[in-house]
Amino acid sequence: MTDVDGVQTIELPSGRAFHVGRSRWDGPLDAEELAYCRANGIEVGYDPAQVGWVVMTNDGDEHARPPEEPDVHAEVERAATELALQVAGATRGGGAFDVVPAIRAVETRLLADLDLHLADRLHWLLTHRVMTAVDGAGTPPAPGSADDVSFRAWDESDVQLHRALLDDEQVWEHLPDAYPTPYTDETSLALIAVSNARAGHDVVAVAIDGAVVGQCLLRIEPERAGPTAGEVAYWLGSAFWGQGMMGRVLPRFVGRCFELHDVDILHAWIRPDNAASLRVAERVGFRRDPFVREEELARATGRAGFERWALHRPRESV
């Protein structure tokens, strides 16, 4: 084991370097890293928001994240204000303003060399200010009544039901983490316990006509300067695919997130080949979120191969 700048690093059997003191927010462990942690007494836990096993650090969400740089923050604020004014002016004049290349230009100039997590937070500040200046931007369609849809917390008594839904390789093909095999009752019990035990996220079983069919979750990201973002994730048991269920569920869950939690932006990581999930997200109001460092962020958080979509709180509620 070596110690470089206070960070303990070991060499795994494959020859890769592994930072033992990594933050839980650096993304899920891969199979080799997880095996090392378990063999060497490093505490790990399953994070349903990241859909994977993570190192359980005890020093809070700011672990391994440098403080924000006030000068860059101020520059992004100024750029956001200028772009918002241009968007508003074009809209009032009956014209259009393509915000994506303008946002990318600002991010390329200001965010390319920052800490990745800080750059992402400043991306949210920039895009939220601009997108909420666009008429209708971020306004989800009315969710409708959907009286047959309900949400409730998972309970230990749900272990067999939970396992029946998740012990399915087809479901995990659309999730960022690998299918945890062998999948046991203990796996489901651990996931249920984690979903109910931690602050900062809202994990609920989804029921239609009283029968549980899947799960929705919201993970609220650590509060920093600027708007508050939360990640939304959802899945259905494969027996319920192709029946239009998530099209009824997701609008209700999005409304719940905005109503019960102080979030300005909801975002979701979706595989581009998951056509059904993309259709549902788009109908609810999510739009592609082309962060200039999206691929880097996806790799760092265990979401390589996924695209990020975002929904901003309706302007009248900002």
Question: From CA 1, how far away is CA 192, in angstroms rounded?
Answer: 35
Any idea which residue has 């930072």 for tokens? 19
**Residues 248, 146: contact at Cβ < 8 Å?**
yes
Structure confidence at residue 64 (pLDDT): 43
Structure confidence at residue 170 (pLDDT): 92
Lowest mean pLDDT among 157-161, 194-198, 212-216, 255-259: 194-198
Structure confidence at residue 63 (pLDDT): 41
Question: From CA 215, how far away is CA 236, in angstroms rounded?
Answer: 7
Give the pLDDT confidence of 110-153 residue by residue, as tens digits. 998 888 888 998 999 999 888 877 655 555 555 555 578 999 99
Question: From CA 4, how far away is CA 147, in angstroms rounded?
Answer: 57
Going by pLDDT thresholds of 50, 70 and 90, the confidence category of residue 60 is very low
Name the average pLDDT for the chain: 82
* Higher pLDDT, residue 60 or 207: 207
**Residues 253, 233: contact at Cβ < 8 Å?**
no
Percent of the chain at pLDDT exceeding 70: 81
